[in-house]
Structure 1
Amino acid sequence: MSGIMEPPAMLEGGSAAEKRRSMCLRVAFRALVLVLILISALVPIVFCLLHHQQAPGSCWAHGSLNESSLQDPYVLIWNWELRHCKGIVQGQGQYLIIQQTGKYFIYAQLYRKETLKEPFTMMLYKNKIIPLNNAVGPENGTVNFARPFLLQKGDRLHCKKNDKKKYSLLENQTYWGLFKM
């Protein structure tokens, strides 16, 4: 014998307590990594949902069809519902009047009750003569559009149709409006 003591076989791979502690640390580390991965995946999703949500109290103006004008059958008169629009937008019969310059998302739908020979057209105007949008649809059915616009304080928006029949539109399916972006 050479006089060198060899360590017991039990200590070669470490003690049982060290192995348990090492295993617990690996499990805890893996759990921590999993939690961090989940959080890093959820934070951007939650942020996007909160960021892209329309701000509470944003101006929204919605007009449901009231009737066609007696003076001009192409012009439509609207019942305006305005939410959070004081000092931003004002509804007045056929017009929406912009009181604050900014970006607005405008949407519209005209639903024809009956089939007529000519195509169905809806026009959106600014200040009576400046066309903002012109949507053409089939002889029957629906014409609609939605898109953003930069509008200036004082702009007066109104919507027209191309037929002069007074009762050609289905009232509960004909509307237009906007919200401030």
Structure 2
Amino acid sequence: MPGAYRIAPDLITDRRGNFYEGLRTDFLEQATGRPFAPRQINYSVSRRNTLRGIHSVTIPPDQAKFVTCVRGALRDIIVDLRVGSPTFGVYDTNVLDAESGLSVLVPEGVGHGFLTLTDDACICYVLSNEHVPGTQIDINPFDPDLALPWGADEPPLLSEKDAAAPTAAEAAASGLLATWEEALAAAAVAPSL
């Protein structure tokens, strides 16, 4: 998916456990060709089988996310919500866990969600812009056209807001989603990505 990256850190392991650098903006810029300047850091703690998402942010103000699981494990899914993108509606899945330090860079206009695989799972979001109330976009995580592979063994715990969210097609038809061109322009002029 254009603009999205999976980042695997170099683990330094010994008998005590491991150590890794969670985010090096200079290395991220070198790999992506664009700077990433953190503006806000959020954490979310959830019990096993909690599903959060699919969430994005309008353009403007736009927001890229560097997502890492810092405790437990989760199935992380990103989906391209940029209308006109060559990969619109395409998703990518990763299992993120605290031990591996695997992270995902979610670009502007791409939706993000996750299903927790362990109790007390904690995810960290390093954001390129501060939260602006009223700019969040919610897409139903069970949108049949997206057919996202959550892999839940039983119905997941879901917020009422996420359960009632529109499908990607409904959000696009109502003008909620950014176009491919708007997302590229936001990434090009944003001080963060």
TM class, shorter-length:
0.3 to 0.5
| Bigger share in strand | 1
Question: Taking structure 1 as the reference length, what is the TM-score of the superposition?
Answer: 0.34
Question: Taking structure 2 as the reference length, what is the TM-score of the superposition?
Answer: 0.32
| Bigger share in helix | 1
Q: Between Structure 1 and Structure 2, whose CA radius of gyration is higher?
A: 1
